[in-house]
Every structure is written in C-alpha cells, then in structure tokens.
Structure 1
C-alpha cells in the first residue's frame, strides 16, 4: 500500500481527473489524501477523501469576478505561489508519504518539493503541449521566470508526467510523457438513463442540445450564454443549459424550448444529447466525445487550452469552433450545420469516442503511480 498525496487547486476542470485517479488508488487499498484550497473541501470530502487546507498559500476563489488583465495575473499568482510548496513540504513532514502528485500548473508546489528533495509526479489535466508551452513560453512563462521559476527544469525533474488525454490529439512529440487517456465517469448507455431534467415524451422526438460553459467566473460569459439561448430559440430542438455556480440561472432569458439549471450531471444528460455547446475545456470535451457527440466550441478564455482544443475539434471534423463574440445568427447557423443528417461531425466524434472508451485513464494512471519509477534522463 502507498500513501499518496494529491496537491491541487480550485480551478474547476482540473479536479475531476485527480479525484478519478484517487478513487482507483483507494479502491486498490492505497491511502489517499488531498492538499488544496479551503473552497475545495466540500467536493473532495464528498468524494470520500481527506483534505488538508493550504495554510501558507494566498487566498483564492475561482468564483471571484475578475476582468481584463486582473484575471490572468491572479491565476499566475496561484501557479507561482511558494506558500503552496511550503504547505506541501509541511504535509509530507507530518505524515508518511510515498507518492506526491502535483497539478501540472502548480510550479510553486514543484519548486517546494524539489527544494526539499521530495520526488513528485506531475498530473497534466489537459493537452500537455498546451500546458507545457504556457509555462515555458509567453506571458505566464515571463511571470514565472520573473519570480525565479524555471518551469522547464521543474518538469524535467519530475519522476513522471501523466497526461490524462488522447496522445493523438496532443500536437507535437512529447518524450517522457505517459499518456493515460482521459479520466472520465463511467459511460452509461442511453437506454439506461433517466434524465434529471424534464423528460416530456414529445421532446424526446427532437434533438437535445446540452449547453455548458465554464463553472468559473469569466468576464462576458453570461452574455455569451444569452446569445446561445437566443440562437436556439425557435429551432426544432430542446436545450438544457447548465450554468454552474458562477451564473444565476434566473439571470438568463430562456426560450420555450430551453431549460436552464445551475447543475445537472453531464454524464446523465449526454447519452440522450445530439450536440454539446461548450467553451472547450478538456474534461467536458473528452466526455462529449466519449459519448460520440459533436461539439460547438466557443472558447471563453483566450490564453490557455480552450482555443487549442476548439482548433483541434475543428481539424478533426468533430465539430465547429466560433468566437466568444459570435452573433446569434452565427451560433444558430453553426448548430444547424452540426445537426444536419447525416452528420459528418457525428461520425468524426464517434471515431474519437471509440478511442477514448478503449482506454481507462484512471486505471492506467493508477498503474503508473503504483509502479517503481525508472530513473529519468536529465
């Protein structure tokens, strides 16, 4: 049995893959605990794990309203927070720890572990090419370097790098990266699903569109959701919109063919959906593809993985990508193209879906974490 520590942060889509791998490790008899922001306690404990709250880290809430340059600067401050590294070291000193798994953006945690001689594994919760590039090139890299962090070195010094994505979607050659496949909930066949939202018999005869943008606060997102709802109004379909905690559902005007909820589990809705409209976050995109669903991607954040994932979906012909500022007419036209019958987008999504379902990401990741780590080349 191993004692495993996951070091995470309150960022939304970065957490479910860690919880999925942790659940598989726990099922095998390993002792697993988490270290993260206080706002994560409820979700992590609900998943059945012990969580230690950061003591030395900066206060942080992913739901706090930030606009302009304040948003990327605030995120960069989390990633380079040396207090997280200090808390990691203190946790390992308090409690026996055999494996330390660090979220791939937390260079402050990696720096603290390396300084204390604590071996660590990096968990990349999106495309490795995007994450590594963001940390080693561009604005985030400049901020990190200015604070004394060499992200490329911190990645090279890791025992292992686990990327929970499909290797074929990750652009470029990335030596030293173990691709586990996406870590997702169990895929349930459509005929076994009872929808949480209304299931009117007449509604079942028309396509269902699932709309879900970020669960975190992003400037302009409420307005984008309203344009999506306006675009779907009057079409022969029914829409289910999930807003997450950052947007009050009552702030949106829903047409007669749409329902707006703060939360409905996507794995309960996707088996009966025909298309997913999303901002291009990795977890939702992979889950949609695992259900053979084409996507309409509207990136909300221009500086990380969402534009890249949208571009890849379009290149793979598994959907379309539109701008955050797309008009009602542009959104409606894109939805109608994807819903055409027969749909080449659905066929391409099904091809990728088969690849995703062929590999259990949580099992592969747990196998690697439990395996003795070979010496990495410097």
Structure 2
C-alpha cells in the first residue's frame, strides 16, 4: 500500500474533492495525511485524517481573511512549500497531491524532484484566464514561481469538472474525470427554491441574500435559505413561507428542489445539476470561476445569471423563469444525466494509485526540475 500527502488550503469548495479522494484511497488500504492551514485542522481531524500542522505557511482563515491581496500571498506562499518538504522529511510519501491554487507548494515539490499530482477543482477555462492569465498569474511569475512549469512538471493534473460545460484543454498530463457531485433520487413535493451562497467570507453577502429573499415574494414556491458560517440568520428579514437556517445540507434540500440559487461555486452548481435542478448563479467574485460557471450554465440552457448588484426585480424575473419554463429543467436534467454517468472519485483515486504502483498512469511522467 502507498502513502499520500494532500496539500490543501482553507478555501471552502476546494476541500470536498480532496477529502473525497482521500477517503477512497483510505478505503483501498492506503495512508493519507493532510497539510493545510491551521484553521482546517479541526475539520480534517474530525473527518479521521492525520493533519500536519504548518509551521511556515501564512495564517489564513476563509471566514475572515478574504481580500484580493491576501489571496495573492496565500497562493504564492513559499512557506507552505517549506512545510511540504518538512513533512516529507519527517515521513516520506509515495505521492504528493497539491491543490491547484497552491503554487508555492507546487514550486517546492518541482524544484526538489518530488513526484506530485495537481488536483484541479474548478473550471479549466476559468483557471487558464482567471488564475494563470490574470493578476494572479502575473503575481506568480513576478515571484518566479513559473506556474505553467509547475503544472507541466506534475505527474498528473486531475481535472474534476464536466466536459459538457468545461471542455478540457490539450495537455499531455491532464485527465478529466468529472465533478464531485453526490446525488439522491428526486422527491416529489411542493415547488421549492433553495438559496445558498458561499461558505467563503465574501463581503456583502448579507445584502445579496436579503435581496434574494425579497425577490421570492409572490412566487409560487416555498423558500429554504442557508446562510452559511459568515451570515447570521437573524440579520435577514424573512416572511411566511421562507425558512432561514445557518446550514442546510444539499442532500436534504436538492432532491425536492425546483430551483437553486448559488454564487456559482463549482461544487454547489454541480450539486444542483446532479439533481436535475436549474440554477440561478449570482457571482460574488469576478476573479474566481463564478462568472465562467454562470455563463456556461446559461449557455447550456440550464439556468440564468444575475450580477450580485442585481435588483430585487432582476432576481425575481430570473427565478420566475426557472420555475415556469420547462426548458430550464430539461437542460438541467441533460447535464444531470451526464454528471451521474461519471465516477470522479473512483476514477480519480485509480489514477493517483497508478502513479504509486508502477502501472501506466494517465499522463506523462513528472518533468525534472
């Protein structure tokens, strides 16, 4: 059996794909450790994983530390790279699996000749433009982290997105396995709108959520709102027919949902589509993948996109269309069928295993530094 070291960061939706792969590897008899931000230790150890405490990495907590400049520093953090090498010196691993945003860790692994895979948990289209092609990519290059060389040097780039909405670019070491999206059979019931924005600490979410709640007035549907850890449910003014909770699990709400409102995070959007639910995307960050995700869903006919500064009327018109026009449900069901036909966790775990057992793994061998 093999040993794996996952390098992650406290970003919310980036963590479930990593933990799902890790659980599958453990189920197959392998050992898995996680290196991440200190704010992640409690959740990861509670999930049964060994956590390597960082000593050199920048401190970061997604519930309170979000600023564009802060994010630039986190993704380029050489301290996480030092912690990676220290973790391997203390206990070697057969393969390191690095989150696709952690370029400081990737650079350290590449320069040290460590065999590593990159876990890509967002649209490849957004990754190429928003990360590598935008201010983030420029910042990484100015810090001499050579992001493209880091990606080219990976033994495998595991892309966990759906080809129907995010066609993979040509790359010899890239394997697209589909999205992580658990689903349950549909449940019949009254029309229901599920509203949930990010667990990440984006500014202004309370105001956006309030306008969304107000927009549902007069619509023929019950409304379930999940505020997440950064918005106090008491700060929202609800009305009869609207339930506001701190947390609602997708498994409890999406099987009976008629429409989902999300910020366009990859995980929540795919979860909605996996349940054949049309999606209203309200992007919260133009530098993340939210806008690209929203456009792709709109192009597929499976949802609508309204800017975060949209009015109550804009939100109401979009939600009304999702509830009343059968074409949105039909398009969402087509994508849902495609998602359910994938086995992202099983195929992804097999690809990672193949890199450690001498079998012919997808992609090409890691380049030497």
TM-score interval, smaller chain: over 0.9
Kept in 2: contact 1:131–1:305 (CA 8 A): yes
Counterpart of 2:358 in structure 1 is: none
* Unaligned 5+ runs, structure 1: 192-203
Distance 2:132 2:189 in 1: 49
Kept in 2: contact 1:20–1:184 (CA 8 A): no
Distance 1:205 1:264 in 2: 18
Counterpart of 1:354 in structure 2 is: 337
Distance 2:185 2:132 in 1: 41
Distance 1:295 1:331 in 2: 12
Distance 1:309 1:135 in 2: 14
Cα shift at 1:376: 4.1
1:6-85 → structure 2 map (5 Å cutoff): 6-64=6-64, 66=66, 71-85=67-81
1:222-237 → structure 2 map (5 Å cutoff): 222-237=206-221
User: For structure 1, which segment, 256-265 or 57-66, has the greater mean C-alpha deviation from structure 2 after superposition?
Assistant: 57-66
1:130 and 2:126 matched: yes
Tell me the SS of whatever aligns to 1:296.
strand
Kept in 2: contact 1:102–1:110 (CA 8 A): yes
Distance 2:343 2:181 in 1: 8
* Unaligned 5+ runs, structure 2: 356-360
1:150 and 2:134 matched: no
Counterpart of 1:212 in structure 2 is: 196
Could you tell me the TM-score, scaled by structure 2's length? 0.94
Kept in 2: contact 1:21–1:183 (CA 8 A): no
Kept in 2: contact 1:17–1:184 (CA 8 A): no
Counterpart of 2:160 in structure 1 is: 164
Counterpart of 2:222 in structure 1 is: 238
Distance 1:205 1:283 in 2: 25
Distance 1:92 1:129 in 2: 32
Cα shift at 1:188: 1.8
Cα shift at 1:63: 1.1
Kept in 1: contact 2:191–2:221 (CA 8 A): yes
Tell me the SS of whatever aligns to 2:96.
strand
Cα shift at 1:377: 8.4
Distance 1:269 1:227 in 2: 21
Alignment equivalent of 1:182, drawn from 175, 179, 196: 179
Counterpart of 2:85 in structure 1 is: 89
1:294-333 → structure 2 map (5 Å cutoff): 294-333=278-317
1:269-284 → structure 2 map (5 Å cutoff): 269-284=253-268
Q: Following TM superposition, where does structure 1 have runs of at least 4 consecutive aligned residues deviating by more than 6 angstroms?
A: none
Tell me the SS of whatever aligns to 2:32.
strand
- The superposition leaves residues 275-309 of structure 1 with CA deviations (integer Å, 9 ceiling, x where unpaired) of 10001000001111100010000000011200000
Kept in 1: contact 2:125–2:292 (CA 8 A): no
Cα shift at 1:173: 2.9
User: For structure 1, which segment, 80-89 or 144-153, has the greater mean C-alpha deviation from structure 2 after superposition?
Assistant: 144-153
Kept in 1: contact 2:41–2:53 (CA 8 A): yes
Tell me the SS of whatever aligns to 2:349.
helix
Could you tell me the TM-score, scaled by structure 1's length? 0.92
- The superposition leaves residues 220-265 of structure 1 with CA deviations (integer Å, 9 ceiling, x where unpaired) of 2110100000011232211111111111111111121111111111
Kept in 2: contact 1:206–1:236 (CA 8 A): no
Cα root mean square deviation, aligned? 1.5
1:101 and 2:97 matched: yes
Distance 2:327 2:12 in 1: 31
Distance 2:56 2:224 in 1: 41
Distance 2:206 2:228 in 1: 11
User: For structure 1, which segment, 325-334 or 127-136, has the greater mean C-alpha deviation from structure 2 after superposition?
Assistant: 127-136
Tell me the SS of whatever aligns to 2:164.
helix
Distance 1:63 1:127 in 2: 23
Distance 1:84 1:178 in 2: 25
